[in-house]
Every structure is written in structure tokens, then in C-alpha cells.
Amino acid sequence: MSLNQQQTINTKNEFQENFERSGLSLKQIAADLNTTPDVIADTLALNVSRIEDPWVLKNYLEDALQQQGIASVPFTALVGDYHRHWFLNSRRIDKKKIG
């Protein structure tokens, strides 16, 4: 799945807003997902080599916000059950493997 230009802009904005709402640092998210802050920053900017990475971060941020009782900004392009998208490695997403 490729995002068009507007979807890319919207998704980056949605990531940024949810990241800011979470109050978490890049370092904390990276530690939780067993990766580096640079990988998290790149994923927030949709600069990824694996198309599953945004889904991992999306799920992480939504869970973190839910645990804090904070509403998340809905994603408009990363929607639906990722298990049903044939082009995604759902096992990678389930394992929270990023980077």
C-alpha cells in the first residue's frame, strides 16, 4: 500500500499529534520497542524501510494513550485490521518488531 501525498502529510501530522499527546520521549518509546530513538524519529516521519514499522508505532502510541486515559487522534490512512492487509507481515507487527 502506498500513500498518496495528502495521506502522507495527514499521517505524519497524526503521528506527531499522538506522539506529543503521549508525553513520551523518543528514547522511552525506543526502549519499549527495543530499537533506537533514530528509528522512532524516522518512523514518525514515515522514512521507513519496512512498511510494517508505522503500524507498530501506531499501535504502540494508541495503547500508550489509552493507558493514560488520553484520546488519540484517529489515523485516517492506517486503518482497519492489519491482519487483513495481504501486503503486511502481521506477525512482525504483532511482535512489535520495528526498524
pLDDT given at position 98:
96
* 82 inside domain: yes
Please state the pTM of the whole predicted model. 0.95
Q: What is the pLDDT of residue 2?
A: 81
For 35, other C-beta atoms within 10 Å of its C-beta total 20
Please give the pLDDT value at position 1: 60
Domain count, the chain: 1
- Give the mean pLDDT of the chain: 96
13 is a domain residue: yes
Asked whether residue 74 is domain-assigned, the answer is yes
Q: Which residue has the cell 507498530?
A: 56
**Looking at the domain assignment, is residue 35 inside a domain?**
yes
| Pair 90, 83: CB distance under 8 Å | yes
Cell of 66: 489509552
Angle 75-88-44 from CA coordinates, rounded to 5°: 40
Task: Identify the burial level of 5 via C-beta atoms within 10 angstroms of its C-beta, where 0-12 means exposed, 13-18 middle and 19 or more buried.
Answer: exposed
What is the rounded distance in angstroms from the CA atom of residue 25 to the CA atom of residue 46? 18
Low-confidence ranges of the chain (pLDDT < 50): none
* Structural domain harbouring 35: 5-94
Q: Is residue 99 part of a domain?
A: no
